[in-house]
Structure 1
């Protein structure tokens, strides 16, 4: 489902992903209207762009460039509840824990960026957080990883 790819691949909230219009899309970035009507530009990876392109090709409804691209079965704007229900179905089919949710995809986006050396301030901008403290929840390191790093780096460990 392209909307879920967008939530993970660009770190978007469901509401942000569902509000995306064709006018907001570029080949390498997306214009996102976040909380408080704050606008931010977020880069998108090729696999997310491909998922959106495939969705748009398969979509049977004509959508104006200024209208949200994600549509329900009757052609109206796709509801967040439908995305959540689809996630429940995927979770069940894939044997994922109940914590796997559309928002968990956004959380994973931030955690994976941070875990691969991403700068906290940059991640804050990508997520559209106004406060760095909102982004700092992603810095909590699990105990096992902490212990492994300690063993690897401490000269007397």
Structure 2
């Protein structure tokens, strides 16, 4: 078993009229493994060619059976080094801190500053072995707890007539 807790349980918090009171109903996660990467500090971009290793807890290694047949996977991870979410400052902000872009809400962008610090990235699967996987394009730092790995299946992700605001192309320039 991994000796890592998700801050045990997030304490109840009040935001407006909504207040979480039942801590038993709150989500609690345990990592299945950790990211191993040369990236140790957050950077704004250039993640496309970064190769990372996801080392799994040995109890989950059998879960990799058949994964090598896929070219891509989706990695769900805990943004464990991000400061606690501050609704007053982070509920709406300029995408990637670009002052010339109008502020948009946290749910309208893929910022790391989120009410629940979860990262989700589709990446290229480079290799699968008896200890974990190697991926390319994962925007997570060395030591980041990994919560789940899913095969990338386009039918689940594909949506027709996708609409994006104009600022997204500018914001994403150089990220991957």
The structure that is helix-richer by fraction is: 1
Higher relative contact order (CA 8 A, sep 6+): 2
The structure that is strand-richer by fraction is: 2
